[in-house]
Structure 1
Amino acid sequence: MIRVLVTDDHPIVRDGLRGAFTGEPDIEVVGEAASGLEALALVARHHPDVVLMDLRMPELDGVGAIRRLAVSHPAVRVLVLTTYDAETDVLPAIEAGATGYLLKDAPVADLLAAVRAAARGEAVLAPSVAGRVLGGFRQAGPLTRRELEVLRLVAAGATNRAAAGKLFISEASVKTHLVSAYTKLGVNDRAAAVGEAYRRGLL
C-alpha cells in the first residue's frame, strides 16, 4: 500500500486529490496538510511513502519543506503538484530533492501513475517541466562523472537508495544527478536514460 500525504493550502484542491485516490486499491491518503510546516509534522506522525507538495503556501513554502524532508525523512518521496512551471520554480524544487514535478492540470491517470512511480523512487517530470529543466541545465555540457556513475548503477538495477548508499551521497543528490542526466540525454525516465546512454556509447 502506498501511503500518501496531500499538502496544499486550498481545501478544494485537497478534497479533489483525495477523491482522485478513492477506489485505488494500492493507494491510501493518510493525511492532509495546509502548509509546509504542517506537512513536516504530519510526515513525522504518519510516515507516508509519497508527499504531494504544492509550492506556494503560507508559513513554509514547498521548496523549504522539501529541503527539510530531504534531511529529516530522506526515504520519503516528494512529488510536486503545482500550477507553476517556470524554470525559477522547477529547478529549486528538483535541486531541493523532489522526486517529481507535475502540474495541476495533469489527467488523473497521469497523477496516479506519477505517485506509483515516485513510490518506486523514479523521477517523474511533466513534459513542459522537462523542457524547463533542460533549459536550466543546457549549459552544463556532457554528463559529469557522477551522473555517469549514477546511470551505471541504475542500469545495473539499483534503486535511488541503493545508488546513494554505494556512492556515499544522499538520495536527493542521486535524484538531482538523474534529472540532470535526463535533460542532457533528452529523455524523461530511467529506462530511456539508460537506453540512450548505451546508444551513445556512454555505458
Structure 2
Amino acid sequence: MRVLIADDHPLILQSLKAAVDSAEDFEVIAETDSGPHVLPLVNRTRPDLVLMDVQMPGMDGLQCLDLIRERHPDTKVVLISAGGDPAQVQVALRRGAAGYLRKSIAPAEIPSALRHAVTGDAYFPIGGTESAEEHIARTAGLTTRELEILKSLAVGMSNKQISAEHFVTEQTVKFHLSNIYRKLSVSNRAEAVRFALEQGLVTRRDAGPG
C-alpha cells in the first residue's frame, strides 16, 4: 500500500512516517508539510492512501480531501488531528474520508487503523477523552461507520436511505449491518434498535419502528 503523508509539524511527520514504514504492507512514497503541495504530489506519485493533517498552512485537510476525492476517487484519504470534535469527524466522513485519527493514537496502532480504512470501515480510534458514544463503540467493538449506521437504522431509515445518507452502496449497508448484528449479538433490526435505545444513542421519540 503506497502512502503519502502530509503534516506541517516535522516531528509528527517523521513519527507518522516511521509508524507507517514499520508495517511490511505499507510504503511511504512521498511526504509534505504544506497543504497546497498535497494534490500535485498525489498527481505525480498516485498513492493508494493519503494520511493527512486536518490543519495545514495554505490549504487545510478538508479542502485537500475534496480535491483528491474529485480527481482521484480511488485514492483513500485518512485525516489526522490533535482534536476529535464529533461534528468535524462527521463532516470529514461525509465528504469522503476513509478514516479519522487522533494524534493521541499510539504509533503502533496506526497501521491497523489504516488497514481498517482501506478495507472500507471508516476508522476513528479512541484517544484522549472519549465521548459516551465513543465509549459505547469501543466497548461493543463498533467502528465509527458502524455506529453511525446503527444510529441511522435506529431512527427508522431503510437500507436505501442509509445508503444515500452515508454515500455507500446498499450492499455495503447490508455488510455493515451484518457486522453490527454479529458484534452486538443480536439477530435483526428490531434488536439492534433496542440496543441503540438502551445505550442512549437515540431517544424513543427519535427511534423508528424497528
SS of corresponding position for 2:36: helix
Instruction: Look up the match of 2:172.
Output: 154
Q: Which has the higher contact order (CA 8 A, sep 6+)?
A: 1
Q: Is 1:131 the equivalent of 2:127?
A: no
Instruction: Look up the match of 1:57.
Output: 56
Q: 2:156 aligns with which of 142, 154, 162?
A: 142
Instruction: Look up the match of 1:199.
Output: 188
Q: Contact conserved, 1:85 with 1:129, CA < 8 A, in 2?
A: no
Higher alpha-carbon Rg: 2
Q: Measure, in 2, the Cα distance between the counterparts of 1:94 and 1:38.
A: 22
Question: Displacement, 1:155?
Answer: 6.7
TM-score (norm 1): 0.70
Q: Measure, in 1, the Cα distance between the counterparts of 2:178 and 2:52.
A: 25
SS of corresponding position for 1:125: coil
Instruction: Look up the match of 2:96.
Output: 97
- The one-letter code matched in structure 2 to 1:192 is N
Q: Measure, in 2, the Cα distance between the counterparts of 1:80 and 1:129.
A: 19
Q: Measure, in 1, the Cα distance between the counterparts of 2:187 and 2:170.
A: 10
TM-score (norm 2): 0.68
Q: Contact conserved, 2:20 with 2:110, CA < 8 A, in 1?
A: no
Instruction: Look up the match of 1:184.
Output: none
Q: Percent identity?
A: 30
Question: Displacement, 1:118?
Answer: 1.9
Once the two structures are superposed, what CA deviation does each residue of 1:112-148 show, in whole Å capped at 9, x if it has no partner? Answer: 101122222332122448937779x979933343326
- The one-letter code matched in structure 1 to 2:188 is R
Residues 86 and 156 from structure 1, CA distance in 2 versus in 1: closer, same or farther, beyond 3 angstroms?
Answer: closer
Ranges in structure 1 where 5+ consecutive residues have no aligned partner: 158-188
Once the two structures are superposed, what CA deviation does each residue of 1:50-98 show, in whole Å capped at 9, x if it has no partner? Answer: 1111111111101111111111111111111111111342222112210
Residues 130 and 77 from structure 1, CA distance in 2 versus in 1: closer, same or farther, beyond 3 angstroms?
Answer: farther
Ranges in structure 2 where 5+ consecutive residues have no aligned partner: 135-143, 193-210
Q: Measure, in 2, the Cα distance between the counterparts of 1:9 and 1:192.
A: 37
Question: Displacement, 1:24?
Answer: 2.0
Residues 148 and 12 from structure 1, CA distance in 2 versus in 1: closer, same or farther, beyond 3 angstroms?
Answer: closer
Q: Measure, in 2, the Cα distance between the counterparts of 1:88 and 1:156.
A: 25
